[in-house]
A and B are shown apart, each in its own frame.
Chain A
Amino acid sequence: MQADINWLDDPETFRVNQLPAHSDHHFYGTKSEIGKHSSFVKSLNGDWQFDFAKTPADRPRDFYQMDFDSRGFDSIHVPGHIELAGYAQIQYINTWYPWEGKIFRRPPYTLNSDKLTPGIFSDAEDNSVGSYIKEFDLPNNFENKRIIVDFQGVEEALYVWLNGHFIGYAEDSFTPSEFDLTPYIKNGKNKLAAQVYKRCTASHLEDQDMFRFSGIFRDVNLMALPAIHVEDLDIRPTVNNDFESGILKVTSKLTGDNLTSSTLKLTVTDAENNLVATQEQSGNDKVFFDAMTFEKVNLWSPDNPYLYDLLIEVLDADGKTVEVVPYQIGFRKVELRDDKVMYVNDKRLIIHGVNRHEWSAKTGRAITIYDMKSDIQTMLDNNINADRTCHYPDQIPWYYLCDQNGIYLMAENNLESHGTWQKSGAVEPSFNVPGDNPHWLEVVLDRARTNYEMFKNHVSVIFWSLGNESYAGSDIAAMNKFYKDHDDSRLTHYEGVFHTPELKDEISDVESRMYEKPENIETYLKNNPKKPFLDCEYMHDMGNSLGGMNSYNDLLDKYPMYQGGFIWDFIDQALLVHDPISNKEVLRYGGDFDERHSDYEFSGDGLLFADRTPKPAMQEVKYYYGLHK
């Protein structure tokens, strides 16, 4: 198969030869590797050869070929944004699309009825292209194994080649894209090539209120799969109605050879390292472990984020360990009861939350584990018990950290299309996507599926969020149905159904609004509502703000169906740059890079300044969020 640039223009082509989404478990060669470096993983982070083209027409065509002379290429650090490396203009914009006032562009299959628009992205003036080359030596222990390349996050459209052969294509900037390199991998030196387009039809779905970047901005890993490999784990710990005992069901998908001659050994130990369950099953494509009963379980909650260690050892026909897979699991019960109140572990759920963009003033959305740990600590220090991942899936370690530290997650899809229906604050959905559009259904379902498959085992995830500010129609309803069909242990959330009340029976378990005034929330709660109420975004903390939080706190005391909310937002998005006039390192915001259209300082709405120091208002958050612990 050959790469086709026209895929950029087609919303129905969004993954080509990509491996299916699966659980985000780590896998190791031996138990002693757990928590350290897996011998099956080689990081490809670091310096890559790089060429920047302002438009697709200017891109190098044959750079992935073995005989291509790439001595004229620059060097760029992966992970990172092409804009922050100085190649393309930085732009901050909120609802409008980044091409506002420059290019007239409508999503395919909308106003132009049933047609694609050729060249809409593949022959565009605003679609810069990064061409990346990474030469690497295959580690000795990777030889004769199946080899996968895993791009954890690439904005926005990615084509991959290995040793001159086309490998695959991916969109969905904020989820991993994995490709099988096995047919073309060589012992010794290999040439991996990637071409990254800044825009494609997914741009209509990825209109998040944030700085607009492109490039390989999360980790890239080369992975060797052992002869028998746990490809997917579906771990379902459930709490019985007595809130004392529980049942654990585990299903695993295997790939490889001679699966039926293999054995899977499962053990569960508690936090004090006592063995509490063990079981063996013979291997197969899909392995169902017998349900395991726990007479007395330690429940997971923000107060006591108790985790059990589950371990699967894969043994081959000779009884030799070929792979070990650990996963930390927690037991908790999320319910929406007949009283129309959400409960976790038999206790009314109160969300003391924040919305959190992944952000660093130095590296943009290419953040590090240290940034994540710092954010967790800030949350713990200030009684913040929940995070809405606005408005895309975060890096995988974030979900593990939330499990370990007791932070509830509203796990959001990578979806925000407010530029297709929100015009200067007014609702005007004439070319809304995904809407009811059949041509945009599969791509959003794929995003829902990926989010689910990756994070389904994380105890911290208590809501699946269908995305943000994308209006509502049958496509979003189908996303809701996907979650309901696959997961009865969590609730779904979508605020945008507010605009289409006729779909409220099909979308979202909660009445969720943003920036609603306390008196309007009270009016809702007083009139026999159908669903509990959540503020998915409230207390807009822009600049010097966060006054009047008591009015929301009063609602918590008066109405059990008022269940708290997520402050908008966690950290200011601004970039640290050198100012030649003052000769200082200073923070810059939208419009400071001569980019127009821009929404200027509107991204300065965090509880933290962009350098991660708390704003003065944080003491108010800590106080009110500490009142109902």
Chain B
Amino acid sequence: MDYTNNKLHVIYGDGTLGVGGNGFHYIFSYERGGLESLVAHDKEWIYRTPTPTFWRATTDNDHGSGFSVKSAQWYAADMFSTVESISVTVDEKTFEELPVAPFNNQFSDKEFAEKVSLIYTYLTNTVPHTTVTIAYTVTPDGQINIKSHFNGNKDLPDLPAFGIRFIMPTTATGFDYTGLSGETYPDRMAGAEKSEFHVDGMPVTPYLVPQECGMHMETSALKITRTTTQNNADNNPQPFSLKIDKGEKNFNFSLLPYTAEELENATHIEELPLARRTVLGVYGAVRGVGGIDSWGTDVENKYHISAGDDIDFDFNMRI
């Protein structure tokens, strides 16, 4: 469909909300609890719906200080948190209930809007629970503003990390970013150079035992490039990219072929699965790595992430 009115085309599906425009089409799922499809210029960028992420693979220092044991609840929360509620707003109208059948029978295939927002509220699989929201706001240029809020709860242990994890269907061939050189953490970024960088592939830092790696702090822009899809009818080998820009503040990210859980599971680099996907973590809060010793001393206090405080961050995805 050729979009000539510079508005978003809104498809009130029976189980999803479709949002389209020039060169993009997104599907937000009520059943799957998140952004199910992000098609930009005919290429799919989503393999499974994005979720809040709380875990980072145990570093040797985390292991030695017992941090991972103390904060193990977040491992479960990383894998098994559930969607508690979904809110849909089109232009200024927030629906009281999800616009599914039969309510959506009133709509046509010619529904347009200036702005579409969905807020997914997640219940963490922790004791006690807390909630996290991920709010997507789409504008006619195809940009999605993604804003996340963590509801602090002082009865929960420190967090390893807080962010949103995107799993993409095939591996990235590389990425470009504006930020800090090398692999950085809040307590290890003073020596980094600030510039624009290109990275080939998705290098996994070859620590003897696979662990958290590849973090890039204080990033203002990121472009991820792939050349392959899973679409059987797509034979176009040309590279294609997705961009992420900072929102109110710079963001932190890692781009790896593995989830934290996959890294956690391996005792050697060669035990990691074959690289098939792209795992993008965009983080609003990152715990330090520490370095005083690796058999008891925790990361310095100022580099902890207290679960007692609220955490907010946002960023923009662009096609």
Tell whether, in the assembled complex, residue B269 and residue A586 are in contact, meaning their CB atoms are under 8 Å apart.
yes
Partner of A620, one of B191, B213, B293: B191
A288 within 8 A of partner (CB): no
**A residues near B268, Cβ cutoff 8 Å:** 586-588, 592
B127 within 8 A of partner (CB): no
List B residues 3-24 near A (Cβ within 8 Å).
none
Given A515-B293, A586-B268, decide whether A544 and B288 contact each other with a Cβ distance below 8 A: no
Tell whether, in the assembled complex, residue A544 and residue B300 are in contact, meaning their CB atoms are under 8 Å apart.
no
Stretch at the interface among A13-21, A373-381, A388-396, A611-619: A611-619
Partner of B206, one of A589, A609, A624: A609
A547 within 8 A of partner (CB): yes
Tell whether, in the assembled complex, residue B290 and residue A548 are in contact, meaning their CB atoms are under 8 Å apart.
yes
B291 within 8 A of partner (CB): yes
**A residues near B295, Cβ cutoff 8 Å:** 425
Tell whether, in the assembled complex, residue A544 and residue B187 are in contact, meaning their CB atoms are under 8 Å apart.
no
Given A545-B59, A545-B60, decide whether A574 and B208 contact each other with a Cβ distance below 8 A: yes
Tell whether, in the assembled complex, residue B205 and residue A540 are in contact, meaning their CB atoms are under 8 Å apart.
no
B270 within 8 A of partner (CB): yes
Given A587-B208, A619-B182, decide whether A543 and B299 contact each other with a Cβ distance below 8 A: no
What interface size band does chain A fall in? 35 or more
B209 within 8 A of partner (CB): yes
Tell whether, in the assembled complex, residue A544 and residue B289 are in contact, meaning their CB atoms are under 8 Å apart.
yes
A572 and B60 CA atoms in complex are apart in Å by 13
Partner of A615, one of B205, B270, B288, B290: B205
**A residues near B270, Cβ cutoff 8 Å:** 579, 581-582, 584, 586
Tell whether, in the assembled complex, residue A544 and residue B206 are in contact, meaning their CB atoms are under 8 Å apart.
no
Q: Report the minimal beta-carbon distance from B127 to chain A, rounded to whole angstroms.
A: 29
**B residues near A582, Cβ cutoff 8 Å:** 270
B125 within 8 A of partner (CB): no
Given A582-B270, A624-B191, decide whether A605 and B291 contact each other with a Cβ distance below 8 A: no
Chain A CB within 10 Å — which of B191, B207, B211, B270 has the most?
Answer: B191
List B residues 55-98 near A (Cβ within 8 Å).
59-61, 64
> Taking CB as reference atom, which chain B residue is nearest A545?
B291
Tell whether, in the assembled complex, residue A540 and residue B293 are in contact, meaning their CB atoms are under 8 Å apart.
yes
What interface size band does chain B fall in? 35 or more
**A residues near B207, Cβ cutoff 8 Å:** 543-544, 604, 615
A542 within 8 A of partner (CB): yes
A425 and B205 CA atoms in complex are apart in Å by 30
List A residues 573-629 near B (Cβ within 8 Å).
574, 579, 581-582, 584, 586-589, 592, 601, 604-605, 609-610, 615-617, 619-624
Tell whether, in the assembled complex, residue A544 and residue B294 are in contact, meaning their CB atoms are under 8 Å apart.
no
A605 and B211 CA atoms in complex are apart in Å by 14
Given A515-B297, A539-B291, A540-B291, decide whether A547 and B187 contact each other with a Cβ distance below 8 A: yes
Tell whether, in the assembled complex, residue B288 and residue A547 are in contact, meaning their CB atoms are under 8 Å apart.
yes
Tell whether, in the assembled complex, residue B209 and residue A601 are in contact, meaning their CB atoms are under 8 Å apart.
yes
A278 and B81 CA atoms in complex are apart in Å by 82
List B residues 262-319 near A (Cβ within 8 Å).
268-270, 288-295, 297, 299-300, 303
Chain B CB within 10 Å — which of A542, A581, A623 has the most?
Answer: A542
Per-residue CB proximity of B190-209 to A under 8 Å, as 1/0?
11110000000000011111
Given A582-B270, A586-B270, A601-B209, decide whether A544 and B191 contact each other with a Cβ distance below 8 A: no
Per-residue CB proximity of B212-244 to A under 8 Å, as 1/0?
110000000000000000000000000000000
B183 within 8 A of partner (CB): yes
Tell whether, in the assembled complex, residue B289 and residue A547 are in contact, meaning their CB atoms are under 8 Å apart.
yes
Chain A CB within 10 Å — which of B185, B193, B207, B291 has the most?
Answer: B291
Tell whether, in the assembled complex, residue B269 and residue A543 are in contact, meaning their CB atoms are under 8 Å apart.
no
A147 within 8 A of partner (CB): no
Tell whether, in the assembled complex, residue A547 and residue B191 are in contact, meaning their CB atoms are under 8 Å apart.
no
Partner of A544, one of B186, B212, B293, B297: B212
B181 within 8 A of partner (CB): yes
B41 within 8 A of partner (CB): no
Given A540-B292, A544-B211, A547-B289, decide whether A619 and B192 contact each other with a Cβ distance below 8 A: yes
Given A542-B61, A550-B190, decide whether A601 and B297 contact each other with a Cβ distance below 8 A: no
Tell whether, in the assembled complex, residue A515 and residue B292 are in contact, meaning their CB atoms are under 8 Å apart.
yes
A551 within 8 A of partner (CB): yes
Tell whether, in the assembled complex, residue B190 and residue A545 are in contact, meaning their CB atoms are under 8 Å apart.
no
B188 within 8 A of partner (CB): yes
A540 and B296 CA atoms in complex are apart in Å by 12
A549 within 8 A of partner (CB): yes
Main secondary structure of the interface of B (DSSP, over half): loop
Per-residue CB proximity of A534-564 to B under 8 Å, as 1/0?
0000111111111111110000000000000
Per-residue CB proximity of B154-191 to A under 8 Å, as 1/0?
00000000000000000000000000011111111111
List B residues 92-115 near A (Cβ within 8 Å).
none
A586 and B206 CA atoms in complex are apart in Å by 10
List A residues 479-530 near B (Cβ within 8 Å).
515, 517-518
Main secondary structure of the interface of A (DSSP, over half): loop
A286 and B155 CA atoms in complex are apart in Å by 77
Q: Report the minimal beta-carbon distance from B273 to chain A, rounded to whole angstroms.
A: 12
Per-residue CB proximity of B18-34 to A under 8 Å, as 1/0?
00000000000000000
Tell whether, in the assembled complex, residue A544 and residue B59 are in contact, meaning their CB atoms are under 8 Å apart.
yes
Partner of B294, one of A545, A588, A609: A545
Q: Report the minimal beta-carbon distance from A612 to chain B, rounded to whole angstroms.
A: 13
Given A544-B211, A601-B209, decide whether A517 and B188 contact each other with a Cβ distance below 8 A: no
Q: Report the minimal beta-carbon distance from A546 to chain B, rounded to whole angstroms.
A: 5
Given A540-B294, A584-B270, A616-B183, decide whether A547 and B60 contact each other with a Cβ distance below 8 A: no
Tell whether, in the assembled complex, residue B182 and residue A548 are in contact, meaning their CB atoms are under 8 Å apart.
no
List A residues 140-161 near B (Cβ within 8 Å).
none
Tell whether, in the assembled complex, residue B188 and residue A617 are in contact, meaning their CB atoms are under 8 Å apart.
yes
Tell whether, in the assembled complex, residue A621 and residue B61 are in contact, meaning their CB atoms are under 8 Å apart.
no
Q: Report the minimal beta-carbon distance from A60 to chain B, rounded to whole angstroms.
A: 39
A425 and B294 CA atoms in complex are apart in Å by 13
**B residues near A587, Cβ cutoff 8 Å:** 206, 208, 268-269
Tell whether, in the assembled complex, residue A624 and residue B190 are in contact, meaning their CB atoms are under 8 Å apart.
yes
A586 and B294 CA atoms in complex are apart in Å by 24
Q: Report the minimal beta-carbon distance from A480 to chain B, rounded to whole angstroms.
A: 27
Q: Report the minimal beta-carbon distance from B132 to chain A, rounded to whole angstroms.
A: 26
Q: Report the minimal beta-carbon distance from A427 to chain B, rounded to whole angstroms.
A: 15
A623 and B194 CA atoms in complex are apart in Å by 13
**B residues near A609, Cβ cutoff 8 Å:** 206
Enumerate 6 A-B pairs (CB-CB under 8 Å) in ascending A order: A543-B60, A545-B291, A548-B292, A601-B208, A616-B205, A623-B192
Query: Contacts A551-B300, A623-B191 given; 6 further ones with Cβ under 8 A?
Result: A544-B213, A545-B61, A545-B291, A547-B188, A547-B288, A620-B188
- A residues apposed to B, CB below 8 Å: 425, 515, 517-518, 538-551, 572, 574, 579, 581-582, 584, 586-589, 592, 601, 604-605, 609-610, 615-617, 619-624
